[in-house]
Amino acid sequence: QVQLVESGGGLVQPGGSLRLSCAASGFTFDDYAIGWFRQAPGKEREGVSCISSSDGSTYYRDSVKGRFTISRDNTKNTVYLQMNSLKAEDTAVYYCAAGSDVVAGYRQNEFQYWGQGTQVTVSS
């Protein structure tokens, strides 16, 4: 069956770094764009970043540009989100998702499969 498993979350101080991983199985990974979304307490889930299936093009929301980097390793069916210079406002549950026909990269309804999420807490 389809699985997306996030890992790498945790507690980090402001200014610190984390690398999230999203390991996929049960579908043709190369054919799917992979996105990262996050949901903070009391807020709606929002798109953070996305990487395409074809040419590796990427999307980042404005608030993470220059701090986060998304990458994928198709040999390992895994997508990574390197998060640097973390801020308190990055605190959220981070989800990865897979979509076969993604256009915008931040629209949740373009993604068919979702992981269970990993908690990222940025606090001193």
Which of 13, 55, 54, 49 shows the shortest CA–CA distance to 31? 54
pLDDT value, residue 4? 98
Report the C-alpha gap between 101 and 94 in whole angstroms.
21
Q: What are the pLDDT digits (tens) for 39-92?
A: 999 999 999 999 999 888 999 999 999 999 999 999 999 999 999 999 999 999
Q: What are the pLDDT digits (tens) for 90-106?
A: 999 999 999 998 888 88
Report the C-alpha gap between 92 and 88 in whole angstroms.
9
Provide mean pLDDT across the span 13-29. 97
pLDDT band (50, 70, 90) for residue 124: very high
